[in-house]
Amino acid sequence: MMKIPKVVCYGEVLFDKLPTVKKIGGAPLNVALRMNSLGCQTQLISSVGADQDGKEIIDYLNALNFPTKFIQPNKHYPTGEAKVSLDDKGNASYEIKHPVAWDEILLNQNITTLVSQSDALIFGTLSNRDETSRATLLELLQHTKYSILDLNLRAPHYEPSTLKELMFNADLIKFSDEEFDEITSLYKSTYNSTELNVQYISQITKTKSICITMGAKGALLFYDAKFYYCKGYDITVVDTVGAGDSFLAGLVTQLLQNHNDPQYALNFACATGAMVAQNSGPNPKIKIQDIIDLMST
């Protein structure tokens, strides 16, 4: 019987306010929901305000039977929100409210124990923009078995020094191609080849595994000192909101369940992200068999 991975996601929960609708999201929540749907046992460490948006998020998760025990209530800051703009290709840009409840995630023994008893901790950069949530995360990283950084850069909500610290604390880093270019510039790489740059960043940050998503061109994975490639899948994009989050969920789920087949994990991740991109919003319902069917095309 295949082991059910126990995973913790850390960081923002918010309302994505799109041009015509508002939807519950935030990268850590998107990843957590998708991993649950793929068969993982997932928990989310975050915070919401004592307001209507916060209540709606908790009610939404309760309706999905998703655990909310580690989403802290905050009476001093509102629930997070992000104004989402879409270009003519469906690509998203974000205007993110600050400060909000998830900027003030507090450390306690319950979340420390949760992380220490889980197989992996997934985190991003956005929840590190304020000192309280950043300090909590850095402490939790001392207790995790496996740490996964989804870089997820959202200007102006990050500093180079913070990025470097987070990368040094990661066992696996997921970049978009634009984010990877920014990091290679930050570390003053002189290499022209993507593969040489991946090895350079892996060495300088002491991160063993690196994944780069490249939109319609697919993705690359550096894992156990080997490169794996997937060209992606031919779909009609509706919007890309949450596609990268579901990609990461698919990748990590497969790597945790089957360390021996990184190529399958990468293919599965690309197909999962593609399934989301051909729907509207970050969390459309997707069946595992539909992902597998897309992989066979």
Distance of CA 118 to the CA centre of its chain: 17
- pLDDT above 80 for 89: no
8 Å CB contact between 117 and 6:
yes
Joined together, the tokens standing for residue 73 give: 């209530």
Cα angle: 233, vertex 17, 290; to 5 degrees: 25
CA distance 196 to 11: 31
Q: For residue 227, count CB atoms less than 10 angstroms from its CB and return exposed for 0-12, middle for 13-18, buried for 19 or more.
A: middle
**How confident is the model over 171-179, as a mean pLDDT?**
97
Strand, helix or coil at 289?
helix
Q: What is the DSSP letter of 55?
A: H
pLDDT band, very low/low/confident/very high, at 136 (cuts 50, 70, 90):
very high
Of 249, 6, 260, the C-alpha closest to 120 is: 6
Q: What is the largest CA-CA distance in the chain?
A: 51
196: which residues sit within 8 A by CB, 6+ positions away? none
pLDDT per position as a tens digit, 261-273: 999 999 999 999 9
Confidence of residue 294 (pLDDT cuts 50, 70, 90): very high
pLDDT recorded at residue 280: 77
pLDDT at residue 1, as a whole number: 56
Hey, CA dihedral for 36, 94, 125, 136, is it positive or negative? negative
CATH superfamily of 6-295: Ribokinase (3.40.1190.20)
Q: What is the pLDDT of residues 19-61, one digit of tens each?
A: 788 889 899 999 999 999 999 999 999 999 999 999 999 999 9
Give the pLDDT mean for 224-228: 97
| Across 138-162, average pLDDT | 95
Q: Which long-range contacts (CB under 8 A, 24 or more apart) does 183-190 make?
A: 183/151, 186/160
Residues in the chain: 297
Mean pLDDT of 285-295: 95
Q: Specify the pTM.
A: 0.95
Q: How confident is the model at residue 16 (pLDDT cuts 50, 70, 90)?
A: confident
Counting beta carbons within 10 angstroms of the beta carbon of residue 201, is it exposed (0 to 12), middle (13 to 18) or buried (19 or more)? buried
Domain boundaries, given as residue ranges, for the chain: 6-295
